[in-house]
């Protein structure tokens, strides 16, 4: 029995391969038969450009990292899972021994085995092996699509954690893509007083308004010849006035990576407020550092997830506080994986989350 896999062989070169069934690397691992896999922007990025920061594609890798599945084999020392358990897979397993891991910040571990991040294989295959404690049993009420959506939900939970999000705060979120709207929904679930979503695409704003945001904002385009930073500052002023934010939002979550949004976000944060950068766009941007200084802003970056994010995400979806399934707009069979990737790459407004079914045969 082989292991059909969707492989990124080189930049812009993907193919289906019949690989060997992966063996358990140690007695604490489990083998999972993959049921559903969501496509993330990073998967597309590696496919098109072959690198994200220091992670560079040097040899073929299996794509995919947002997955759910059924445990089909358990290592001798595994206690938390048994064959037949349905699980959401946390795709990054850290070394557990470095100072970052010991400090609970395992998202910063330099030796993390992260699915579909070079040189490690991802989950778009029939079978995937992973540490048993990085698989989370899902309740019977949750289906496999929802379980695959735990990954992006956990990203949003981590962003909220980094922001130290509290009840009764005003939260401004730039970007109404999957991570943006999940951040809005998490903020509401955590008791935010007012959550505002900002985007340049009206259909996404409409979705955000029906999902987790109390209000949404479509920023006007700048007039010709206007200084972009001045325009960003103006938009921040308009947002503060329109939504009664006074001197600014308590918390700003930037989920686009777009330079104008980053600038507007800084200008829209109140003195002593928290600004979290989660979106990745251009490597370097023009940043209003003096404003950040004068306002004594807390500026943080957020990456992946840390202890407790996955269980919290499972709970939020299982209890209906977050309707993760509503984000899925397109479904493909495993054999149509390349078509699914092409669709995500096209960046259509009506395409939100694309999900690929596991190997059926």
- The answer on 22 and 143 residing in a single domain is yes
Residue 246 pLDDT greater than 80, yes or no: yes
- The answer on 248 and 278 residing in a single domain is yes
- The answer on 175 and 115 residing in a single domain is no
Model confidence at 63, pLDDT cuts 50, 70, 90, reads very high
- The answer on 297 and 262 residing in a single domain is yes
Does a structural domain hold residue 314?
yes
The arithmetic mean of pLDDT across residues 149-178, rounded, is 98
In angstroms, rounded to a whole number, what is the distance separating the alpha carbons of residues 57 and 10?
7
- The answer on 168 and 294 residing in a single domain is yes
Residue after which a domain boundary falls, among 258, 286, 301 = 301
The arithmetic mean of pLDDT across residues 274-283, rounded, is 94
- The answer on 260 and 207 residing in a single domain is yes
The arithmetic mean of pLDDT across residues 8-30, rounded, is 97
Give the model confidence (pLDDT) of 146-155 as tens digits.
Answer: 999 999 999 9
- Domain range for 353 is 3-153+305-357
Its pTM stands at 0.97
- The answer on 293 and 189 residing in a single domain is yes
The dihedral through the CA atoms of 150, 333, 61, 284 has a sign that is negative
Does a structural domain hold residue 328?
yes
- The answer on 121 and 22 residing in a single domain is yes
Give the model confidence (pLDDT) of 309-332 as tens digits.
Answer: 999 999 999 999 999 999 999 999
Q: What is the CATH number of the domain that holds 320?
A: 3.90.180.10
The arithmetic mean of pLDDT across residues 171-194, rounded, is 98
pLDDT at 241: 98
Does a structural domain hold residue 223?
yes
- The answer on 274 and 172 residing in a single domain is yes
Model confidence at 333, pLDDT cuts 50, 70, 90, reads very high
- The answer on 190 and 106 residing in a single domain is no
The arithmetic mean of pLDDT across residues 352-358, rounded, is 97
What phi, psi does 187 have (nearest 5°)?
A: -60, -40
The arithmetic mean of pLDDT across residues 14-27, rounded, is 97
The arithmetic mean of pLDDT across residues 53-75, rounded, is 96
Model confidence at 6, pLDDT cuts 50, 70, 90, reads very high
Does a structural domain hold residue 158?
no
| Number of separate domains in the chain | 2
- The answer on 11 and 128 residing in a single domain is yes
Does a structural domain hold residue 71?
yes
Does a structural domain hold residue 73?
yes
- The answer on 276 and 143 residing in a single domain is no
Residue 307 pLDDT greater than 80, yes or no: yes
Residue 138 pLDDT greater than 70, yes or no: yes
Q: What is the 3-state secondary structure (H, E, C) of the chain?
A: CCEEEEEEEECCEEEEEEECCCCCCCCCEEEEEEEEEECCHHHHHHHHHCEECCEECCCCEECCCEEEEEEEEECCCCCCCCCCCEEEECCEECCCCCHHHHCCCHHHCCCCEECCCCCCCCCCECEEEEEHHHEEECCCCCCHHHHHCHHHHHHHHHHHHHCCCCCCCEEEEECCCHHHHHHHHHHHHCCCCEEEEECCCHHHHHHHHHHCCCEEECCCCCCCCCCHHHHHHHHHHHHHHHCCCCCCEEEEEECCCCHHHHHHHHHHEEEEEEEEECCCCCCCCCCCHHHHHHCCCEEEECCCCCCCHHHHHHHHHHCCCCCHHHHEEEEECHHHHHHHHHHHHHCCCCCCEEEEECCCC
Q: What is the CATH number of the domain that holds 210?
A: 3.40.50.720
Does a structural domain hold residue 12?
yes
């Amino acid at each position: 029995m082989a292991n059909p896999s969707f492989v990124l062989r080189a930049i812009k070169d993907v193919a289906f391969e019949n690989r060997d069934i992966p063996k358990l690397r140690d007695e604490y691992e489990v083998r999972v038969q993959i049921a559903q896999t969501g496509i993330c922007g990073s998967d597309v990025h590696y496919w098109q450009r072959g690198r994200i920061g220091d992670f560079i594609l040097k040899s073929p890798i299996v794509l995919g990292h947002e997955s759910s599945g059924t445990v089909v084999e358990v290592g001798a020392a595994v206690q938390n899972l048994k064959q037949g358990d349905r699980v959401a897979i946390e795709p990054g397993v850290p070394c557990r021994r470095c100072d970052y891991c010991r400090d609970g910040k395992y998202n910063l571990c330099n030796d993390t085995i992260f699915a579909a991040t070079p040189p490690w294989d991802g989950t778009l295959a029939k079978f995937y092996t992973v540490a048993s404690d990085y698989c989370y049993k899902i309740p019977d009420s949750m289906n496999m699509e929802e379980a695959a959506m735990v990954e992006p939900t956990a990203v949003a939970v981590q962003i909220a954690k980094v922001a130290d999000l509290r009840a009764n705060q005003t939260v401004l979120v730039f970007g109404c893509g999957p991570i943006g709207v999940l951040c809005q929904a998490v903020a509401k679930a955590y008791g935010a007083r007012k959550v505002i979503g900002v985007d340049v695409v009206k259909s996404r704003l409409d979705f955000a308004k029906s999902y987790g945001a109390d209000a949404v904002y479509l920023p006007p385009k700048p007039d010709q010849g206007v200084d972009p930073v001045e325009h960003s500052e103006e938009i921040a002023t308009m947002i503060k006035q329109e939504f009664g934010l006074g001197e600014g939002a308590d918390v700003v979550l930037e989920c686009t990576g777009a330079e104008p949004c980053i600038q507007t976000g800084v200008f829209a944060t109140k003195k002593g407020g928290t600004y979290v950068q989660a979106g990745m766009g251009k490597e370097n941007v023009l940043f209003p550092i003096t404003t950040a200084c004068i306002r004594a802003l807390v500026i943080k970056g957020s990456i992946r997830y840390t202890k407790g994010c996955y269980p919290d995400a499972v709970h939020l979806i299982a209890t209906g506080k977050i309707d993760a399934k509503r984000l899925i707009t397109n479904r493909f069979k495993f054999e149509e994986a390349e078509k699914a990737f092409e669709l995500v790459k096209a960046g259509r407004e009506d395409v939100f989350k694309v999900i690929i079914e596991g190997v059926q045969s």
